[in-house]
Amino acid sequence: QVQLVESGGGLVQAGGSLRLSCAASGRTFSSATMGWFRQAPGKEREFVATISSQAFITNYADSVKGRFTISRDNAKNTVYLRMNNLKPEDTAVYYCAAQPKIVAGTADYWGQGTQVTVSS
């Protein structure tokens, strides 16, 4: 019903910035809370940020608060994650999620992930 495709990952120097995009196919995007999670090697997938369906409410993990910004463009069926002041500990595969459950770490739909690598 919903397909999520992430893009925008890559290799960046510490202190640099990247913008991730998640393009959603499906007819209910504008009604869905969206989010980003990440998973570093050997670690569990962790919550990064969520944004409500009309972008009125955003939520961020403490580790990225003040550095990352989640946004969405419902007309384009796309959610974004602007990552500023990147740190090596931000290195992970970043996953887009539809209707995420922060505590459970689950979602109705997941993207395939995009790799973000931050060099020292």
Nearest alpha-carbon partner for 97 in 114, 84, 119, 120: 114
Residue 29 scores a pLDDT above 90: no
Give the pLDDT confidence score for residue 112 in this predicted structure: 96
User: Which pLDDT tens digit goes with each residue over 3-16?
Assistant: 999 999 999 999 99
Query: If phi over 0 gives left and psi between -120 and 50 gives alpha, with beta otherwise, what is residue 104?
Result: alpha
pLDDT at position 1: 76
Check pLDDT > 90 for residue 51.
Answer: yes
